[in-house]
Amino acid sequence: MDQKIIETKVNIYHLTELEPEIQVLINKAKEQVQQAYAPYSNFFVGAAVLLENGALFVANNQENAAYPSGLCAERIALFYANAQFPDVPVRAIAIAAYTGNDFVAYPITPCGSCRQVMLEAETRFENSIDIYMYGTECIYHIENAGQLLPLKFEKKSLEHDH
């Protein structure tokens, strides 16, 4: 039997320890929770995406009574950014969640579908995306989507000899 150990490196910060451009990105994600449509879960999520050209896109989760028909803030922001600038890599994404009349104390992590979309954005442009997840107690920073999805399904997974 062989064994494979998978580790994820998580940098933990407070907002003031981050560079100003990333603080703005996180604050934009926080602002977006107010625009989210989450009447079923009452779990409001905001996301902000920063492209390599400096363009910034924001989005929020949109629920639907038929749960699978809704969409996460992260995917909306990433798809919107790619629709506007299809040839520009994503530099960073920030995510914030609000429930029970306050932001979550500890960061939430993206769902599996959002992780897969982030991974595709990375492989599409062959560059890492910095992922910042906001909580009132701390901010998690992951240096790339592969850290969030280490056993990933990617383009080479579709090849016969893989």
Residue 47: pLDDT band (50, 70, 90) is very high
* Average pLDDT of every residue of the chain: 95
Q: Which domain holds residue 43?
A: 11-158
Model confidence pLDDT, tens digit, residues 73-86: 999 999 999 999 99
Tokens describing residue 75: 């995917």
The residues annotated as belonging to the active site are: 74
Answer yes or no: are the C-beta atoms of 68 and 120 closer than 8 Å: no
Instruction: Please check whether residue 5 lies inside any domain of the structure.
Output: no
User: Which residue do the tokens 């909580």 mark?
Assistant: 135
Instruction: Please check whether residue 96 lies inside any domain of the structure.
Output: yes
Instruction: Please check whether residue 132 lies inside any domain of the structure.
Output: yes
Instruction: Please check whether residue 128 lies inside any domain of the structure.
Output: yes
Instruction: Please check whether residue 1 lies inside any domain of the structure.
Output: no
Model confidence pLDDT, tens digit, residues 85-122: 999 999 999 999 999 999 999 999 999 999 999 999 99
Instruction: Please check whether residue 27 lies inside any domain of the structure.
Output: yes
User: Which residue do the tokens 């107010």 mark?
Assistant: 34
Tell me the CATH number at 29: 3.40.140.10
Q: How many structural domains compose the chain?
A: 1
Instruction: Please check whether residue 19 lies inside any domain of the structure.
Output: yes
E-assigned strand segments in the chain: 11-13, 44-51, 56-60, 90-99, 102-103, 130-134, 139-142
Closest Cα to residue 129, out of 53, 50, 61, 63?
Answer: 50
Instruction: Please check whether residue 59 lies inside any domain of the structure.
Output: yes
